[in-house]
Amino acid sequence: MRITFRPLARDDLDDLRRWLNTPHVYEWWGVTSGPGSLGGPGADAATHEQVREKYEPWIAGDDATTHRHVIELDGRAIGLIQHYRL
């Protein structure tokens, strides 16, 4: 098995939306967890437009302080990680 990390890209937004709308993710990071959060069941599910609006500026490099990377396992995207200086 090979795990790699690569910068988040526009092509990842559909995967990101799907991840945000899965129970084990939205339980911690969904709309019920606070302002600016995305994802949840039913009417709370993140839409493509919401994900694009939130993450596209970061992909474009508008926020140079937080770095977002897609985690890949054997070339398949499996998650997102971010890091920033405290």
Closest-CA residue to 48 (of 23, 19, 13, 12): 13
Range of the domain at 49: 3-84
Residues contacting residue 4 through CB under 8 Å, at least 6 positions apart: 71, 72, 75
> What's the chain's length in residues?
86
Whole-prediction pTM: 0.86
Q: What is the pLDDT of residue 36?
A: 83
**What is the domain count for the chain?**
1
pLDDT at position 60, please? Answer: 82
Which residues of the chain, if any, have pLDDT below 70?
Answer: none
Cβ atoms within 10 A of the Cβ of 35, count?
A: 5
Q: What is the CATH number of the domain that holds 72?
A: 3.40.630.30
